[in-house]
C-alpha cells in the first residue's frame, strides 16, 4: 500500500468524508507533503470502491456532487493489517539501527 492510499484510508478511518474533506485531511495529515489532485484522489477512490475497501453513501444534507465515503469492514481490516506491518517494520528498524550504533 502506498502513502497517498494509506492517507486516504486513514482519513476515512476517523469518520466518513466527502472528496474535498479527504483532500484537505490528507494534506493536513502529511503536513503539506502529500497534496493530491482531484484526478489522483478520484482515481484512488474508484479503485478502493472497486476493491470493496470503501463505500459511498448519500447523506441527507449533501447533493450528488458531495457524496460521502466510508471504510467498509474489509477496508478497516486491511488498514489494520497494514498498520501492524508498519509497526513491526518500525520496531525492527529501530532495533537494527540501535544494534549498529551500540
User: Which residues of the shown chain bind other proteins in the complex (CB under 8 A)?
Assistant: 1-5, 19-20, 23, 35-47, 51, 64-67
The nearest distance, CB 81 to other proteins, in angstroms, is 16
The nearest distance, CB 99 to other proteins, in angstroms, is 22
- 38 burial via Cβ count (<10 Å: 0-12, 13-18, 19+): exposed
- 22 burial via Cβ count (<10 Å: 0-12, 13-18, 19+): buried
Of residues 67 and 88, the one with the C-beta less far from other proteins: 67
The cell for 20 is 474535498
The nearest distance, CB 102 to other proteins, in angstroms, is 26
Of residues 60 and 65, the one with the C-beta less far from other proteins: 65
Of residues 20 and 84, the one with the C-beta less far from other proteins: 20
Of residues 38 and 95, the one with the C-beta less far from other proteins: 38
CB atoms within 10 A of CB 41: 17
CB atoms within 10 A of CB 69: 21
Amino acid at each position: 500500500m502506498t502513502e497517498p492510499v494509506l492517507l486516504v484510508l486513514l482519513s476515512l478511518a476517523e469518520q466518513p468524508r466527502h472528496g474535498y474533506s479527504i483532500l484537505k485531511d490528507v494534506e493536513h495529515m502529511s503536513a503539506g507533503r502529500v497534496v493530491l489532485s482531484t484526478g489522483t484522489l478520484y482515481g484512488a477512490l474508484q479503485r478502493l470502491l472497486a476493491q470493496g475497501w470503501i463505500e459511498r453513501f448519500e447523506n441527507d444534507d449533501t447533493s450528488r456532487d458531495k457524496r460521502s465515503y466510508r471504510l467498509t469492514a474489509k477496508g478497516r481490516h486491511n488498514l489494520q493489517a497494514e498498520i501492524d506491518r508498519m509497526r513491526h517494520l518500525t520496531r525492527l528498524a529501530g532495533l537494527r539501527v540501535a544494534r549498529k550504533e551500540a
